[in-house]
Structure 1
């Protein structure tokens, strides 16, 4: 790992005081660690509401300008997903800056108890299909993209609006490849493969193509582990060699348009909600 865990902005324990922008009206019963991350700090906050109800929330936080972008992007993306498939997504509540630590930012949502069981393939596919169906045709621009920068771990991806799914996916991939190359330095084979790869955006092996994004992401996240870069280069080489002379297929796979058009779900209502969220105060907390 390349960095120490982020500093926890909140005290952990029973009856602790939390920043007024995180919890305003409720009584804090406990704050406990929830999950682990190298990029953010995550906690479970259990509170007693004014009406006596006991409610738990999940909160994550990070510092600096990147932390602000990460929390803002998380809120926007989770709101879009929640608007489309609320049965599958914890309800987003707020994002914002701490009052006492203005350079520390947070995202908070309802807390959902996680199960150890893995959903069946049919259940998982059903959730994806529900997202596609609910978000179809709702892009505010009629294009593919998202109005906010989002992150894979702490790595930003390019969500600029684009006229086709292929172009949108290619620009996201290019942003990751550029970040990987900037981090690791010049490599003749990597640079050559990156250029060849970018010129051929549509491969028959779509699963392998989509998985490549995460091979590159791992190479960025674990820069001191050269095997991850080796895996990314090997997979890029395999795809370029296999499909280097193939014609680009016309159109896109069924349903891919809907996956990115989820952006439109939250766009129309984001303005009113962000006014509250940016302050970091949820009306129900």
Structure 2
């Protein structure tokens, strides 16, 4: 039996109350630095996903500010105009979300950001805490350092290099693929588990995502017909060669949802900053799947530059098709998240951008699967 239908991106659950940004819960106050007094909470507009506010406070006689975000969930916002105060201000990002799924969102993000911060502390805002509110236990929050950021894409030299550095230096503690707990793509939970091979991890978690997609969008015969050869031919053909005949890959810590809205540049250091992580220990090239999407401003030039710092895995000739496979999984996730928009299934311009077309292209290209490829090797 398939999972319960995924709520739509627009109506995942009721909006958190505006009161959540007008009044700071006691549990959240406990997570702030000692001797912090919040003097006022000023609502600061709304967005498609969030309600936001600026917290004006003092800490040991010094003016400080915090940024409060009520999230449904959403990418981390850049600081609102006037919210940063002076350079000595301490700014903190706070996200709150509703329900058990909200708990998974903030818990998974905290674990992900912590794992990245341990290895490369300048790459992410320092995570501080996550928890549930005292006055409304069904409301959950994520608290982190606030880094002043500038809009626009990060430098094409520095950003791919930093991501390659993360992927090389942060590897699975026991050599397996997966993660310690579920993380969320938007509000879609991914239960990673732990797997001995990348193929096993990818097939297991992707099959579950297809179940979510069919439940969210409704049964689609084209997808159902393509699933069997997709799993029996395409996935083994493109992933098994990575870990057979003396070849191997090391599970790397990835961000997990690295589109241009989750990347910025630190205003002080001019170094890249990433946020809203949904991590796992994966094939490092999986990080680049979302960089194939035409809507993502981190595109082909960034992929090419990344591979100058982290060359493609063997077999090198499969690299682009592996990237197309990973992008197809991103299409599945987006089709779940935007359940009210069937364009993620049907549109075909460009072909690799949409779920059915991207599946069909791979299925038609690899009808013989791994065994046919293996038989042609000398």
- The TM-score with structure 1 as length reference comes to 0.77
Residue 95 of structure 2 aligns to a residue in which SS?
strand
* Conserved? CA contact 2:177–2:201, under 8 Å: yes
CA distance in 2, matches of 1:157, 1:220: 12
Of 95, 118, 139, the match for 1:60: 95
2:57 paired residue number: 47
Distance 1:59 1:35, change over 3 A: farther
Of 15, 19, 25, the match for 1:6: 15
* Conserved? CA contact 1:159–1:168, under 8 Å: yes
| Structure 1 residue 151 corresponds to structure 2 residue 184 | yes
Question: Alignment RMSD, CA only?
Answer: 2.5
Q: Which moved more, 1:95-104 or 1:108-117?
A: 108-117
Of 55, 64, 69, the match for 2:104: 69
Of 105, 110, 133, the match for 2:145: 110
| Structure 1 residue 227 corresponds to structure 2 residue 343 | yes
2:334 paired residue number: 218
* Conserved? CA contact 1:44–1:59, under 8 Å: no
* Conserved? CA contact 1:26–1:50, under 8 Å: yes
Give the drift of 1:208: 1.4
Give the drift of 1:207: 1.8
Number of equivalences: 244
Question: Structure 1: which 5+ residue stretches go unaligned?
Answer: 251-285
Q: Which moved more, 1:139-148 or 1:102-111?
A: 139-148
Residue 212 of structure 2 aligns to a residue in which SS?
helix
- The TM-score with structure 2 as length reference comes to 0.59
Of 93, 97, 102, the match for 2:128: 93
Question: Structure 2: which 5+ residue stretches go unaligned?
Answer: 1-8, 65-89, 239-317, 347-353
Considering Cα pairs closer than 8 Å and 6+ residues apart, tell me whether 1 or 2 has the greater RCO.
1
CA distance in 2, matches of 1:42, 1:17: 12
1:244 paired residue number: 367
